[in-house]
Amino acid sequence: MKRLISTVAVLILSLSASCAVDLNNLQNYVDLYNNKIEDAPIVLRGMLGTENVDFTILLNNSSTLRWGMKMENAKIVRSAYGDLENPTIEAYTTESAINMVLDAEDPVAAYQEAEKSGLMRIEGKTVGAKMKIAVALSLGSAIKPFLSSLRSTPHPAR
């Protein structure tokens, strides 16, 4: 169960990779994700389905970034800075934790470490979202190639 939750969390946090890379170009990363999701395992696409995901990210400069996205058929159909109405999934993290996970050889293990240390947390707000998170995370190594493809866009050294 813990491995399952960790894998989904890494996937969802990978969607927010742009926060650690370039806060002014979130749309570039939304486009990258939407182009690559077609190559993800069908089970994963089914699990992501339709969700409203709200991110709260404590930035390195001590400010807080709120970013929300609406997903339909596993694609991001809307994303924006600020709170998202009625989120079904909420993720809480820090900018440095995102960087650590994205730069890790094994992003799932890096997420688990960040979660243990309290730097990352993901919560399903509905029974359906909790079940999706649990099932998608059980895919573990099956989604690693997809996660790697999301990290294919280089980001500046920190």
- Over the stretch 59-116, which tens digit does the pLDDT of each residue have? 888 988 888 889 898 888 998 888 788 899 888 988 888 888 777 777 777 877 888 8
Dist. CA 116–CA 71, nearest whole Å: 28
Domain definitions of the chain by residue range: 2-150
Q: Which fold has domain 2-150?
A: Nonspecific Lipid-transfer Protein; Chain A (3.30.1050)
DSSP SS3 for 123: strand
Q: At 14, which helix (H) or strand (E)?
A: helix 2-15
Compute how many other C-beta atoms are within 10 angstroms of the C-beta atom of residue 130.
Answer: 15
Dist. CA 123–CA 129, nearest whole Å: 8
Band (142; pLDDT cuts 50, 70, 90) = low
Q: What percent of the chain has pLDDT over 70?
A: 66
Q: Which residue has the tokens 């992003």?
A: 107
Q: Is the pLDDT of residue 117 over 90?
A: yes
Region of residue 50 (phi > 0: left; psi between -120 and 50: alpha; otherwise: beta): beta
| Per-residue model confidence as pLDDT tens digits over 45-64 | 777 788 888 989 888 889 88
